[in-house]
């Protein structure tokens, strides 16, 4: 299994989106597709990601798009989410597990446990265990890595977005450690676009290095791919018109200390990552 080591490279996490209602329009579970067809489509996508250089594959089976910008979307039961995600996780782990780590993107402890049993080695929880503390317990029991992402229902920050995100993530880290996850297996994510206006997200991106330092240098995951803030900065560009903007944000995030970037367009963004790493991580 590939060891997650920090500081020598930027890890690229490719998004394997199984939801039919993703904001970015890349969901693989389109109406009428059978489980076998979905698994084949996910494998094809993952093979391409790994061939391009991605070492993390993030499987998600419920849309987490922010309701304040994209409207309410149907909640998925744990049973339905697991039925969609776990066969894909198992297939990816079986074929590509020697070349990449498989991550499960879920806020539900039972789904996390099933995915970890099927071969995932990382839990990516966009609510950092606040919706269901069993995601933390599942990661602890499996000895898995755990991504703690900042999130909130409303984009309101009386004390300022930066200070509140730092405070919230510090508390999430301490709760995860108390729940049995070793600090060495924790990864923090400021949640670009989640419970944040574009202006909030820009401030967080501008202050990423400061944020990482404030969180004790914990490994930092940044996900800007195709997000609304990129579209806003490009004058209203649609999700499929945000590649160059995403690449710019990835380069700047790496310069600020990002350890993982989570992206849709792996092959294109890998070029940005390689150049950024070559400059940022240069040693005489």
Q: How far apart are CA 44 and CA 47, in angstroms?
A: 5
Active site residue 227: yes
Q: How far apart are CA 216 and CA 188, in angstroms?
A: 11
Q: Which of 262, 271, 274, 283 is catalytic?
A: 262
Residues contacting 103, CB < 8 A, separation 6+: 13, 56, 57, 58, 59, 120, 121, 122, 123, 124, 147
Q: How far apart are CA 228 and CA 118, in angstroms?
A: 33
Q: How far apart are CA 88 and CA 60, in angstroms?
A: 10
DSSP SS3 for 182 = coil
Q: Which of 101, 152, 207, 227 is catalytic?
A: 227
Query: Phi then psi for 223, rounded to 5 degrees?
Result: -120, 100
Q: How far apart are CA 257 and CA 10, in angstroms?
A: 9
Nearest to 8 by CA among 281, 284, 283: 281
Supply the residues annotated as catalytic. Answer: 227, 262
């Amino acid at each position: 299994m590939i060891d997650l080591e920090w500081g020598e490279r930027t890890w690229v996490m490719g998004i394997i989106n199984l939801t039919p209602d993703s904001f970015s329009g890349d969901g693989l579970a389109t109406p009428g597709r059978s489980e076998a067809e979905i698994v084949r489509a996910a494998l094809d996508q993952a093979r391409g990601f790994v061939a391009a250089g991605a070492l993390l594959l993030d499987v998600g089976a419920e849309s987490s798009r922010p309701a304040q910008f994209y409207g309410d979307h149907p909640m998925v039961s744990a049973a339905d989410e697991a039925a969609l995600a776990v066969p894909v996780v198992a297939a990816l782990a079986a074929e590509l597990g020697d070349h990449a780590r498989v991550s499960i993107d879920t806020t539900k402890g039972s789904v996390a446990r099933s995915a970890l049993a099927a071969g995932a080695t990382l839990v990516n929880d966009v609510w950092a265990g606040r919706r269901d503390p069993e995601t933390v317990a599942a990661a602890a029991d499996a000895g898995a890595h755990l991504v703690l992402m900042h999130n909130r229902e409303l984009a309101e920050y009386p004390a300022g977005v930066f200070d509140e995100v730092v405070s919230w993530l510090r508390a999430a880290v301490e709760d995860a450690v108390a729940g049995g996850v070793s600090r060495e297996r924790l990864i923090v994510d400021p949640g670009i676009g989640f419970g944040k206006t574009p202006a909030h997200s820009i401030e967080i991106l501008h202050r990423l290095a400061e944020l990482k330092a404030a969180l004790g240098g914990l490994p930092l995951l940044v996900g800007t791919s195709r997000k609304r803030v990129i579209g806003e900065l490009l004058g209203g560009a649609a999700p499929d018109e945000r590649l160059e903007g995403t690449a710019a944000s990835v380069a700047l995030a790496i310069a600020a200390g990002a350890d993982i970037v989570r992206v849709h367009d792996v092959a294109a963004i890998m070029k940005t990552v390689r150049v950024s790493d070559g400059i940022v991580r240069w040693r005489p």
